[in-house]
Amino acid sequence: MTTILLLRLTLRNFKGIDEFEFNLDGKHTKIFGANATGKTTIVDAFYWLLFGKDSQNRTDFQIKKLNPDGTVAQHMLEHEVEGVLQIDGIERTFRRVFAEKWTKKRGSVKKEFTGHETCYFVDEVPMKEVAYKAEVAQIIKEDIFRLITNPVHFNEQLKTEQRRALLLDICGDVTDQDVISSNEELKELPGYLNGRTIEQHRSIIEGQKRNLNKEIEKIPIRIDEVRRSMPDISQIDVNKIDTEISNLRDQIAEQENQLQQIRSGSAAIDIQNNIRHLEGKLLEITNRLKAGSVDLIAAQRKALADHQWEYDQLTQQIAQKRSQCQNNQRRIDAGKATAQTLRNRWSEVKAATFEHKHENEGSCPTCGQALPEDQLQEAFEKAEADFNRQRAQTLESIQMDGKASMKEVNELEASNETLLAEIETLTQQQSEKQAGIIFAKTELADLDDAMIDPKEDADYQAVQQQIVALQNQLKDIRTLEQESVANTQQMIASLRTEAAQLEQQRAQVTQANAVTARIAELEQQEARLAEEYEQLEYQVFLIENFIRTKVSMLEGRINSKFKYARFKLFETQINGGLKEVCETTYRGVPYSSGLNHAARINVGLDIVNTLSVHCGVTAPIFFDNAESVTKLIDTNSQMIPLVVSKEDATLRIENMEGVHA
């Protein structure tokens, strides 16, 4: 068990206290003072020294002394708290200093406020913040420190879940299997859990219940919506309607068959066949009358076509030869131009003379010495011979190219003379063919004029009169058919309208049946969902029964760890369900309602005692309004009650009897 005692606490410029030294020597000590004299400041200073927070767990509280208007009373002060602790008999000194930073900028005479800094010391050794916090944490963690130094912290600062978790940590939890084994009614629960914890399964069940409840609430609305869409069929006789619809369909089919027979009448077909037969006779008469003339006309047309084809062939040949002449002429012109260029070039080369200069001015190109006269003459003669040879070769090459060019020109000119002669012959033949075409056209026109017109033949006219008579008969029959078709179609339309009206009534019956079936389906769904909801409720009952059993088992363990405090871990709701709580009670009175301040302090001290044992550490206990507590329970921790005393305008300390060992 680690024992932490407060030996001395010194405050300088901390909140409203300019300087105060609090010597306790590890003893139980009361602090007296009227309201606003700084009792709570002592507690804030102790917490701030260790953790940088006040007693309310705030980091942004005001450390500096303020004027009535809220401004800082005095700048450039160091705000300091120093505490001497005895930890298992060893003294340790902790000091925290909060100060303003004033900096003189370059070129300025006055210093300017640029922020704050905090300095840390352990046993007079300066430390960084991280190292300082590590030193404090090595002694005790902040959350544990607050639990065992403030008797109301457990009940007033921790949330329900935190209090429950801490109590379970103290007394030790019981396993789910232990709870299930202790109650026969819970034997079905593991099958529902399917490997999940009670909390996990309860969360799932609650979600499923919410979803099911939403679905169940929607179904009556859906049923009402569906029911409103149901048509009134109370006056409809379904069997009678079906019989009438069937009769109307038979009548429609009969009328449609009659319409088909009218449209395919045999009298009209016979007349049409006779007309086609007579039209065939007209064709035979026409062919007979035109038989001789047609053959002559055909022969003449063939002759005209032959002449035209031959004329076109001659035209094509003439065009090809003229095109060839034009191409040859372009090549002739180009060849003559080339020959003239070569002649000019030949004359230039022929007129060229030899000119010789020594490249090195008579010196050897290797050693730079002057060459002898005979060597210079030899070099001159050699250069002149090379020049003459190259000129002769160039002249010969030009002469050969010129001859080749002129040869091609002469050949092309000879070819053009031949082509022009052929064009003249072909043109004469074309003129002859043109005369033949004119003659053939004249003969063809004479044959057309001599052809007999079939419409002037007596037999042709008699057959034509028979066709006209039959066409008039067919027109009369068609007029009668159209009237009959119109009457029949009107009858069919009337029957279909009547049938459609009956089918509309029949559709209402079908719709009503569908609505009834849908309502039945929704009602079945509602029953199924209600059954599922009841099953979930049963699982909730098992879970709550489990919690009751577990709580009953835990309460005994938990309450055995405390001398005065008792704990209520669940409460029964109006609907019979259980709600997890963590209410501290003393002699049956809840901490949060009805328990007076003295009882709250003693119950809190009882909790601190148990927590100190559980955590293996004791520390000074501060609590306010101690004047209302006439008797404190025994505790192993150093007690520092804060007492409101109107007579004490300034803080006063008083050692209580006994020394905390």
Burial code of 353-377, b = ≥16 C-beta within 10 A, e = fewer? eeeeeeeeeeeeeeeeeebeeeeee
Percent of the chain with pLDDT over 70: 92
- What is the per-residue pLDDT across 80-103, written as a single tens digit (0 to 9) for each? 999 999 999 999 999 999 999 988
Q: In the chain, where are the structural domains located?
A: 1-140+619-661, 266-456
- Say yes or no to pLDDT of 255 above 90: no
CA distance 442 to 449: 11
Residues 6 or more apart in contact with residue 99 via CB below 8 angstroms: 77, 78, 79, 116, 117, 118, 119
Neighbours of 544 (CB within 10 A): 18
- What is the per-residue pLDDT across 401-441, written as a single tens digit (0 to 9) for each? 888 888 888 988 899 889 899 899 999 988 888 888 888 88
Does 266-456 carry CATH code 1.10.287? yes
Percent of the chain with pLDDT over 90: 29
CA distance 180 to 319: 118
- Say yes or no to pLDDT of 9 above 70: yes
Which of residues 516 and 607 earns the better pLDDT score? 607
Helix, strand, coil percentages for the chain (3-state, nearest 5): 60, 15, 20
Q: How high is the pLDDT of residue 2?
A: 93
Q: How high is the pLDDT of residue 661?
A: 30
From the candidate CATH numbers 3.60.70.12, 3.40.50.2300, 3.40.50.150, 3.40.50.300, the one assigned to the domain spanning 1-140+619-661: 3.40.50.300
Q: How high is the pLDDT of residue 660?
A: 37
Q: 3-state DSSP call for residue 59? A: coil
Range of weakest confidence among 92-106, 256-270, 617-631: 256-270
